[in-house]
Amino acid sequence: MKAVKATCLGLAMLGAMLGVGAVQAADVSASPTLARIKESGTITIGHRTSSIPFSFYDSNQKVIGYSQDICDKVVAEVRKQTGLAKLDVHMVPVTSQNRISLVQNGTVDLECGVTTNLKARQQQVSFSTTFFVAGTRLLVKKGSPVHDFPDLSGKAVVTNAGTTSERILRKLNDDKKANITIQSAKDYGESFLILQSG
C-alpha cells in the first residue's frame, strides 16, 4: 500500500515553527488565532485519547505521547510569541470523525494527534511539517490465513472511523468488489477489542 503522511493539524504559522530551530518574532496581529489566544490567555488543544504512542492518557489521565510532546513545544512557542507570562492550556478530546471540523470552527486551536495530510484536508485546515510517515497495515489473529488485502475478500474487517485506513479499505472493497464487511470503530482500543473478540 502507498505510505501515508501523518501530521499534527493546526495553525499554519505554528506548523512552520515546528520545522525550524530559531523562530523570529511573529506579528501576532497577522494571525487571528494567535490574536484570539493572546486576548483570551487560553489555547485549546485537541488531543486523541488512545492513539498510542502519539496521543493517549497515562494512568493519571494526563495526555502524553509523541504528538503531545511536539504540541507542548508549540504551546511554549505560542507563549513566547504572544508575550504572555501565563497561558492556560485547555485539553479537548477529539476523534477521527470530528478533529478537522473542530479545528475549522475554532473549538480547538490546534489538534495534536496523528492525522494524514491529504490535499482535500489541506483545503480545510493547515498542517504542520510532517513528523511521521506510516503505511496502512493489517493486524490479524495469530495463525490467521489473512496475509494481504486480497485475503480479506468475504471477511469482516474493523477499522477506525474517519481515518485514511478506512477510506483506503472502502475504496479497495468497492474497486475489487471484495464483499468485505467493514465495521468502523471509534478508536484503536475499540478496534483491537473487536478483533480480539472475533
- pLDDT tens sequence across 64-95: 999 999 999 999 999 999 999 999 999 999 99
- Domain stop point among 107, 134, 161: 134
Residue 18 has a pLDDT of: 36
How far is the CA of 26 from the CAs of 77, 101, 118, in angstroms?
10, 26, 27
Same domain flag for 74 and 99:
yes
- Domain stop point among 97, 114, 134: 134
Same domain flag for 148 and 166:
yes
pTM of the model: 0.69
Residue 29 has a pLDDT of: 64
Same domain flag for 142 and 176:
yes
Phi, psi (rounded to 5 degrees) for 122: -65, -20
Beta bridge partners of 182: 157
Q: DSSP letters of 103-156?
A: HHTTS-SEEES-EE--HHHHTTSEE----EEEE------TT-S--SGGGGTT-E
Same domain flag for 108 and 162:
no
Q: Which domain holds residue 153?
A: 137-197
Same domain flag for 31 and 129:
yes
Low-confidence spans in the chain with pLDDT less than 70 = 1-29
How far is the CA of 25 from the CAs of 53, 109, 122, 124, 135, in angstroms?
32, 20, 26, 27, 37
Same domain flag for 118 and 51:
yes
Does residue 93 have a cis peptide bond before it, meaning omega lies within 30 degrees of 0?
Answer: no
Cell of 163: 481515518
Please state the domain count of the chain.
2
Same domain flag for 54 and 88:
yes
- Domain stop point among 110, 134, 158: 134
Same domain flag for 55 and 79:
yes
